[in-house]
Structure 1
Amino acid sequence: MTDKAELSSTERQLRDALARLVHQKPINRELKQKLKANKLKIVVSNVEKEAGLSNGSARRYPETKALIESAEANRVHGVSNVSDTVAYFGESDRSFRFYPITFSSSFSSLPVLP
């Protein structure tokens, strides 16, 4: 994961905008109206709009786009309760093996709003 100090200005703006949308505190007038109407979705175009950037600005930041997509999934479906370990049944020796799952995107890198 990219350190916060290494983020470009654009990526920092996108992540700050994402944090505002996740915490339901948009500053963009149109997105505030969508929030009041309960129609606000966390999608790339809305994050770009909230950040004050043009359409397609997030295309160079796949990690940030993954954060946006997982934020919307968490909003719609809630946080996953799936274990972080996957069981694999070994055919050769007929035993179970457990492999940890690591996720490349997490919300720990998002700023916390008051």
Structure 2
Amino acid sequence: MRQGLPGDSLVRVHQNVLGGNVEHLRPIASRSTLIRARRGRGLLSPLISEKVVRLAQVWIQAQGVYKDDSKARRFLAEPHMMLRGLPPLTVAVTNRAGLEAVEQLIGRLRFGSAP
């Protein structure tokens, strides 16, 4: 991660996790970074790589709760009252504390103790 993930990592996350939605890519990387990644140009920066990994982590957990990709995507993209009205996607990629907050929310959803 210190050297950066291959650009293809961002492309896969954009397609599989974000469903190709460019708007939802904003907290992670710019559109121009995605274009460069699609062209196979170099590695992602360590910061973007870290965000890609965080998003992949919460994606796997959200899939475990919702058992449906579209529902998991909707959960990640829509503002949530337990995250001060911010989307889990935005909170999770911000920093380690944000990732932990989203993971706690997903845990509560898994066991039925969150709205």
TM-score by length of 2: 0.27
Task: Return the structure number with greater helix share.
Answer: 2
Task: Return the structure number with greater strand share.
Answer: 1
Q: Which has the larger radius of gyration?
A: 1
TM-score by length of 1: 0.27
